[in-house]
Amino acid sequence: MSIYRSLNLILLGPPGSGKGTQAKVLSEKYHIPHVSTGDMLRDEVRRGTGLGRQAKAIMDRGELVPDEIVGSMILHRLDKEDCARGVILDGYPRNVAQAGVLDGILAELGRTLERVIVIDVDDEEIVRRLGGRRSCPKCGRVYHLVFNPPRDGKTCDDCGVALVQRDDDREDVIRERLRLYHQKTAPLIELYEKRGLIVTIDGSQPVEGVTGSIIDALGSPLSA
């Protein structure tokens, strides 16, 4: 598979930096699942579960869902067999408390964190990206109206379903999410820097360039 016996990664970066886009590609290349707490929460919302109803109002304001809720979702997900050889975490952890919970879960499961990849993109570019973000309500594939459009400009290449805009990709909510990123999530960079886990990638490159930089930093999935 790769030079790693297992590969547990965190993708860290502001909303819209390309975590989900990169995670999907890396998941196929390294054969490890993409675990996104945002996707898991949106799935709960779609299914209209109690948790989904509780989370929806919080997400629509751009605030963070309580740590206990996402912590228990992550615990159950990482405990599944398909995560035994590694995982790509996207959107978790999002604050120092969640990083502590993750350490506990990984220790319990006998796993280690190999790398924390920071995707660096400035706030102006973020607003451009999130304004044009559209996704497939069926398969979750993410597009951009200008940077990464579907073939016909409006429906998913894979499903033919009309693309939708996320309720939280509105300018005022984007600003709140960015504020919370800088306040709560960015401090994790220093925390993981102290453990020597951080790799910083220039996220302003085109999608393929970002993927190439990440693979350069991690080592090719084909080596060894």
In sequence order, what are the residues at sequence separation of 6 or more whose Cβ sits closer than 8 angstroms to the Cβ of residue 17?
119, 120, 121, 126, 129, 203
- 175 catalytic? Reply is no
Q: Burial of 13 by CB count in 10 Å (0-12 exposed, 13-18 middle, 19+ buried)?
A: buried
Q: Site residues for ligand ADP, window 73-102 (CB under 6 A)?
A: 91-92, 94, 98
Q: How many helices (H) and strands (E) does the chain have?
A: 9, 7
**Nearest residue (CB) to ligand ADP, 77 versus 94:** 94
- Closest chain position to ligand ADP (CB): 38
115 binds ligand ADP (CB under 6 A): no
**Does residue 215 bind ligand ADP (CB under 6 A)?**
no
Q: Which two tokens stand for residue 46?
A: 């779609």
Q: What minimum distance in Å lies between the beta carbon of 5 and ligand ADP?
A: 27
If binding is defined by CB under 6 A, does position 56 make contact with ligand ADP?
A: no
- Is 177 annotated in the active site? yes
Residue 158 binds which one of ligand ADP, Zn ion, none, with CB within 5 to 8 A depending on kind? Zn ion
CB of 29 to Zn ion, least distance (A): 20
Identity of the residue, 2 or 21, whose beta carbon is nearer to Zn ion in the bound complex = 21
Q: Please tell me which residue in 77, 85, 134, 177 is annotated as part of the active site.
A: 177
Q: Is 65 in the site for ligand ADP (CB under 6 A)?
A: yes
| Site for ligand ADP contains 148 (CB under 6 A) | yes
**Helix spans in 79-218 (H):** 96-108, 123-131, 171-180, 187-194, 207-218
Maximal CA-CA distance, the chain: 48
Is 94 a residue of the active site?
yes
Angle at 147 between CA 145 and CA 150, to 5 degrees: 50
| CB-CB contact of 82 with 28 (8 Å) | no
Q: How far is the CB of 136 from Zn ion (least distance, A)?
A: 3
Nearer to Zn ion, 133 or 141 (CB): 141
**Strands of the chain, DSSP E:** 7-12, 34-36, 86-90, 115-120, 133-135, 142-144, 198-202
If binding is defined by CB under 6 A, does position 33 make contact with ligand ADP?
no
Which residues, 6+ apart, have CB-to-CB distance to 203 below 8 Å?
13, 17, 18, 119, 120, 121, 210
Active-site amino acid positions: 19, 94, 133, 166, 177
Binding site for ligand ADP (CB under 6 A): 13, 15-21, 37-38, 41, 58-59, 62-65, 70, 91-92, 94, 98, 129, 132-133, 142-144, 147-148, 168, 177, 205-207, 210
